[in-house]
A and B are shown apart, each in its own frame.
Chain A
Amino acid sequence: MRIRSDIFLWLLILLGIILRMTDVGLPDMLTDEVQLALGKSAAWTPLAMQMIVAVQSIFGFETIVARGVSVAMGIATIPLFYVLARNFFEKRSALLATAIAALFPSHILFSRLAYPSIYLCFAWLLTLLCYIKANESVNRRGPAEAAAKVETGAFMWLIGLFIASVAASFMKSQGLVFPVLLLFGLLIEKRKAIVRDEVAWILLLSLIPVGLFFLTHPGVLATVLLYGGNMYGLSGFVQRISELVFTWWHLLTLFAIFSLISLRWFRALPWPVWTLLATIILTGFLLGPAHEYYSTHLILLALPIAVLLMRLTPTLRTLSIISLTITTFLFLGPHTLAPFAHHLYTNDPYWNTHTNKINEILKNTEEVYVLGYPGHHLRWYLEPRLHVGRFMNLEGVNGTFIILKKDKLPDPPKMKVLYEDARIVIAERS
């Protein structure tokens, strides 16, 4: 009976892996994805960008390759989640938690897209694991004969914690929030004794590289100031809360209900897990609650959901798992089969279907002026060099222009239209 049940959970994990590889190339590349894929954003710390550019330098700058790195990161998170869960649960419960994590909708969605959130999610979970193991190893020290072995283990986990924490802070700027909150948590727990706590020192040291990065790269601070008080911050408190709830509900549905019920059992988990959940809610709330990608990290909720399910009767537990699986499939199954597929998989992928035709029209053109508010995705799809025409004085300038219809600009005078569809106009002035 137990073997059959384990096979069932393994099959669910396999389904989660397959869903992460489904419809990967279908949606158009989005503007943030292209910033990551081309390795250029002033607002982000560089590690995720360097990773994706390195992989594409080998396999080519293609949508499937850029998103493939996310798929790999998403799949790699699953065994990491199991190792993490084993710190709190016995084998079977850990497997159950991993199956729920494998099927977690927001994590599947962002495993298919080239957003840095999937990289950060991995790094944060790794930081949590290394923190728990390092703390455990350091506290286990004593005069016993196994001291040398414990010492080696503690040393390795402390090194691991340093690397994971630095990696998190360099994946994306907000990655540093979790190590900072862990440090605060330690301060509350240890008070004056924190001065002699190696884990606290490691966390503090791990924040120095990113601190120096911020000091030497004004782009991060400039972006915070640019969006501060508007997208970033506390302004519109009630609206932020409602946006956060709406966005997360829309992505999680039944998982959200299970998460809410299971929060009661979060007490069964140690405070660093709470701290990561607080980090996830805080960053989503402060940095843009309508941005779906912050929900990637909610995979952590698979831990309390597993605690909840383990308290149910076997029949109810099985029914719950099947319901969660069906929910995920309805939302993130192959787009031809999923009746409630995410809008990215039901929208017309305009650029994926029109790029060849547009590039054919532009084939003898070296430079194009884009009129309107272009996203970075244009540099992914269009071959000529693109100029942002919005701030330029283009009066009397001859050449080829792309006019983005969404921005409803007045038609520029004296231009010959070369191509027009529902989204763009290509025109020439000579």
Chain B
Amino acid sequence: MPGMLPFLDSEVREKAPLAIEEMRKQGFWMVNTELDSISKEEGKVCYHWTHQYRSRFEFGEKEFITTCL
């Protein structure tokens, strides 16, 4: 539930699609990505993600990625 509370902030909602676009620019399959948390740092909204590549051959290592906008 705390993970959803930041979405009450309109800035967080507004920038969320842009954060997803940023992730896509790195070539990730978004189904392999989960949003862990959201924070505000130095006037920017930071989206903290966990990415784990999944295929039939590989359940990859977890990577932690932050997108600040």
Contact = CB atoms under 8 A, between A and B. Distances in A.
Nearest to B23: A391
B24 A391 contact: yes
A313 interface: no
A347 interface: no
A40 B24 contact: no
The contact size tier of chain A is: 20 to 34
Nearest to A29: B56
Contacts of A381: 56
A37 B59 CA distance: 13
A277 interface: no
B54 A38 contact: yes
Contact of A216 (B4, B31, B57, B58): B4
Interface residues of B, number: 22
A383 interface: yes
Contacts of B54: 38-40, 379
A383 B3 CA distance: 34
B28 interface: yes
Nearest to B33: A42
A2 interface: no
A381 B32 CA distance: 17
Nearest to B17: A222
A388 B28 contact: yes
A393 B57 CA distance: 27
A386 interface: yes
Interface in A133-174: none
A388 B29 contact: yes
A380 B55 contact: yes
A124 B41 CA distance: 47
Contacts of B25: 391-393
A393 B21 CA distance: 12
Contacts of A393: 25
B37 to A, nearest CB: 12
A387 interface: yes
B55 A386 contact: yes
B53 interface: yes
A57 B58 CA distance: 13
B56 A215 contact: no
Contacts of B27: 369, 387-389, 391-392
A10 interface: no
A41 B4 contact: no
Contacts of B28: 387-388
B20 to A, nearest CB: 9
Nearest to A37: B56
Interface string B19-58: 0010011111111100100000000000000000111111
Contacts of A35: 31
Given A391-B24, A391-B25, A392-B26, A42 B31 contact: yes
Interface of B: 1, 3-4, 7, 21, 24-32, 35, 53-58, 60
Given A37-B56, A391-B25, 18 more contacts: A38-B55, A40-B31, A40-B54, A42-B31, A215-B1, A218-B4, A218-B35, A376-B31, A379-B29, A379-B54, A380-B55, A385-B60, A387-B27, A389-B27, A391-B21, A391-B24, A392-B25, A393-B25
